[in-house]
């Protein structure tokens, strides 16, 4: 039995296919853009082709993320919170606190042993506490999103970036550049600014170990290191490249549980609009 | 998006004194997602437009734009 998790996020759409043993068969990612329905379907179909499957081979599909309702071949939708909690537990079963930093949101949640969310907080107002903030900071300095990771690796001493919003941070970045501060140090400062916000969120929900960090921003190794340093405790990070797939993995796992409950064993109606 | 409720005439301070907690300020599209999350957590939800004096002066021109395009979400435990 094959199940699928589709995470239609504000920045990227992620798809995971899972077998009945809970193994991730394949995964795919594309820019979400403005055609959410089409991108979700194409990413799903590309994943199926990679493992020589047809849409009908997939028993159950769960969609999550801000664009989940636009996914026209889903069997069910769940919130990012539910999917993220399940995804974090998939990688680290003893997870008690989940920090999810995506393109537009930062969310902290405390979860119980059964992956039920007990407490939740998210960033307020604008995108200052999210990936968009880092992307803008990089852009002000003439770097692309892909260059953020390597740029941070060059940092020797971070500089504080205290901007309360992404717009306001621009003047700080320009000021630092005019002082001759290396771009890597500015980028690292931006990461640490985000980290401070994320640790505050986790304190507000009375987060407890084990802490698991998910979301696109955690693909930058320095982000996890900064959270670890500020929290003063170990943190879990899914294997390299898997952080941004955690919600899709969680959705696929929930789809597997749901399919088992419904007694679905093989080919079902996935691929048909519901 | 406007929601009519008996709490519409209350100030933010009055809402807080009635047990509401201010959770986040959100754009319309993000509001739908976050409302679902708090609904899933079994909480009562109230949505209001922000007021300009709720922003710091350094937010500048973003303040008036945010007042037009953003929403403030409050939650409280449902009365049993």
Question: What is the percent of chain B where pLDDT is above 90?
Answer: 14
Assess A105–B contact: CB distance below 8 Å, yes or no: yes
Are A100 and A230 part of one and the same domain? Answer: yes
Reported as a pLDDT band with limits 50, 70 and 90, residue A134 is confident
Q: Are residues A101 and A233 in the same domain?
A: yes
Are B40 and A80 an interchain contact pair (Cβ–Cβ within 8 Å)? no
User: Looking at A23-82, which runs of residues are DSSP E strands?
Assistant: 24-31, 58-64, 76-77
Q: Is residue A269 scored above 60 in pLDDT?
A: no
Name the residue ranges covered by the structural domains of chain B: 12-77
Q: Is A271 found in the same domain as A228?
A: no
State the angle between helix axes of B28-40 and A80-91 in degrees (0 to 180), rounded to the nearest 10: 60
User: How many domains is chain A partitioned into structurally?
Assistant: 2
Name which of A81, A85, A125, A169 to mutate to probe chain B: the one with the most chain B Cβ atoms within 10 A of its Cβ: A125
Q: How many CB pairs under 8 A join A and B?
A: 42
- Give the separation between CA A212 and CA A244, rounded to whole angstroms: 13
Interface contact flag, A79 B33, Cβ < 8 Å: yes
**What CATH number has the domain bearing residue A183?**
3.30.420.40
Residues A87 and A97 grouped into a single domain = no
Q: What percent of chain A has pLDDT over 70?
A: 92
CA A115, A79, A75, A12 dihedral sign is negative
pLDDT tier at A197, thresholds 50, 70, 90? confident
Residues of A in Cβ contact (< 8 Å) with B70: 125
Same-domain pairing of A47 and A102: no
Residues A230 and A254 occupy one common structural domain: no
Shared-domain flag, residues A107 and A212: yes
Phi, psi of A112 (to 5 degrees): -90, -175
Q: How far apart are CA A247 and CA A258, in angstroms?
A: 16
Q: Could you tell me if A40 and A145 lie in one domain? A: no
Domain that residue A51 falls in: 1-91+244-274
Q: Is the ipTM of this complex over 0.95?
A: no
Confidence of residue A21 (pLDDT cuts 50, 70, 90): very high
pTM of the model: 0.85
Give A69's DSSP letter. Answer: G
Q: Per the structure block, which two tokens stand in for B4?
A: 């009519």
**CB atoms inside a 10 Å sphere around CB A113:** 10
Residues A216, A116 share a domain: yes
Residue A123 has a pLDDT of 78
The conformation of residue A155, written as its DSSP 8-state character, comes to -
Do A118 and A154 share a structural domain? yes
Does residue A106 contact residue A201 with C-beta atoms inside 8 Å? yes
């Amino acid at each position: 039995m094959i199940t699928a998790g589709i995470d239609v996020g504000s920045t990227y759409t992620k798809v995971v296919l899972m077998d009945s043993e809970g193994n991730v068969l394949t995964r795919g990612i594309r820019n979400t853009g403005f055609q959410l329905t089409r991108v979700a379907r194409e990413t799903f179909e590309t994943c199926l082709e990679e493992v020589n499957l047809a849409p009908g081979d997939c028993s159950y599909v769960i969609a999550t993320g801000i664009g989940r309702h636009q996914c026209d071949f889903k069997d069910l939708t769940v919130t990012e919170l539910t999917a993220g909690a399940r995804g974090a537990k998939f990688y680290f079963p003893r997870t008690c606190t989940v920090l999810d930093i995506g393109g537009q949101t930062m969310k902290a949640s405390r979860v119980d042993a059964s992956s039920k969310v007990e407490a939740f907080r998210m960033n307020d107002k604008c995108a200052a506490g999210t990936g968009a903030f880092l992307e803008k900071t990089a852009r002000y300095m003439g770097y692309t999103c892909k260059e953020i990771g390597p740029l941070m690796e060059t940092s020797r001493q971070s500089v504080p970036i205290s901007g309360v919003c992404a717009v306001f941070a621009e003047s700080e970045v320009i000021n630092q550049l005019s002082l001759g501060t290396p771009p890597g140090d500015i980028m690292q400062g931006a990461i640490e600014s985000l980290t401070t916000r994320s640790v505050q969120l986790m304190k507000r929900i009375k987060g407890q170990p084990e802490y698991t960090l998910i979301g696109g921003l955690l693909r930058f190794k320095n982000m996890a290191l900064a959270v670890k340093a500020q929290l003063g405790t170990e943190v879990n990070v899914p294997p390299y490249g898997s952080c941004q797939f955690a919600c899709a993995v969680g959705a696929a796992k929930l789809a597997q549980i749901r399919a088992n409950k419904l007694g679905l064993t093989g080919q079902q109606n996935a691929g048909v609009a519901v | 998006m406007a929601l009519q409720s008996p709490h519409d005439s209350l100030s933010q301070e009055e809402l807080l004194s009635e047990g509401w907690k201010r959770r986040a300020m959100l754009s319309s599209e993000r509001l739908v997602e976050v409302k679902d999350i708090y609904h899933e957590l079994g909480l009562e939800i109230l949505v209001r437009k922000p007021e300009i004096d709720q922003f710091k002066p350094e937010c500048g021109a973003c303040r008036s734009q945010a007042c037009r395009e953003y929403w403030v979400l409050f939650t409280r435990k449902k009365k049993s």
